[in-house]
């Protein structure tokens, strides 16, 4: 599977390949979303085919569900699985405390629900996602379409009192139209550059009524597997 990959895909593949070693027979597995998570889904498919591995997958997006079915993973809804042994997902940033920014692919809500309903969350990334302070990557906030402009204004007002370096916000677009998540919501991206207190920001953002969830994953990730372009991996936990 790894033949002829670009250096970045080689790194993502290396992290994904190592992460699926943590999946054991009979496990209920949360399947993340994004290009790195897609490698993990393919690697799981390979283990099912080659080793007869048995597992149940709970995808975090329709994209991932489609891919999982294609590679032979039995897909069920979270409510059917009830609780998961492990979730493996990508991230847009991770810091030294293994706090994350996620949602670059717009799947943060299902990703957070699924990761929170898991005994452990493993994040797979390449080295470019490692930061000392979260915030260089725009922080996605999922908002309900009803009154979204008011919600955005309330977010901006809140940011005035937060320890952040930037305060711009933008509605995520899909062409000329708002990007719509799998849950039918919009995403407002916050361009903060540096988040001084991610834990506090995550809490107060969710107190705004129109906010459904934000892309800060605090104390959720247990392990980060960093793939290198040389195919080696490093594990942080």
- Strand intervals (E) in the chain: 27-31, 55-59, 74-75, 84-89, 93-94, 100-101, 118-126, 139-143, 168-171, 173-174, 177-178, 186-191, 211-214, 216-217, 223-227, 233-236
With beta carbons less than 8 A apart as the criterion, state whether 102 and 89 touch: yes
Q: How many other CB atoms are there within 10 angstroms of residue 48's CB atom?
A: 17
Where along the sequence are the contacts to ligand 5RP (CB under 6 A)?
Answer: 32-37, 89-92, 102-108, 111
| Minimum CB–partner distance for residue 182 and ligand 5RP (Å) | 10
Active site residue 111: yes
Which tokens belong to 52? Answer: 């007869």
Which value, in Å, is the radius of gyration of the alpha carbons in the chain?
A: 18
- In terms of Cα–Cα distance, which of 38, 39, 40, 35 is closest to 23? 40
List beta partners, residue 89.
123
- In terms of Cα–Cα distance, which of 99, 90, 160 is closest to 131? 99
- Secondary structure (3-state) at 152: helix
Q: Of the two residues 33 and 214, which places its CB atom closer to ligand 5RP in the complex? A: 33
Of 111, 156, 157, 234, the catalytic one is: 111
Q: Any idea which residues carry the catalytic annotation?
A: 111
């Amino acid at each position: 599977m790894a033949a002829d990959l670009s250096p970045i895909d080689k790194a993502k593949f290396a992290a994904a390949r190592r992460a699926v070693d943590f999946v054991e027979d009979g496990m209920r597995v949360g399947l993340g979303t994004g290009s790195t998570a897609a490698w993990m889904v393919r690697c799981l498919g390979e283990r099912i085919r080659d080793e007869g591995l048995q597992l149940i997958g709970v995808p975090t997006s329709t994209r991932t569900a489609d891919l999982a079915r294609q590679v032979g993973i039995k897909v069920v809804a979270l409510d059917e699985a009830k609780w998961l042994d492990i979730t493996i997902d990508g991230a847009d940033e991770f810091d030294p405390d293994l706090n994350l920014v996620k949602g670059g692919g717009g799947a943060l809500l299902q990703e957070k629900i699924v990761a929170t309903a898991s005994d452990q969350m493993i994040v797979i990334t390449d080295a470019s996602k490692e930061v000392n302070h979260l915030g260089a990557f725009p922080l996605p906030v999922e908002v309900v379409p009803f009154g979204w402009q008011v919600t955005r204004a309330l977010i901006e007002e809140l940011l005035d009192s937060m320890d952040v370096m930037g305060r711009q916000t933008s509605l995520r677009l899909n062409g000329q139209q708002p990007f719509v998540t799998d849950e039918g919501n919009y995403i407002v991206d916050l361009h903060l550059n540096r988040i001084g207190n991610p834990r506090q920001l995550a809490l107060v953002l969710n107190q705004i009524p129109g906010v459904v969830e934000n892309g800060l994953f605090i104390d959720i990730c247990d392990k980060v597997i960093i793939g290198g372009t040389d195919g080696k991996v490093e594990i942080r936990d």
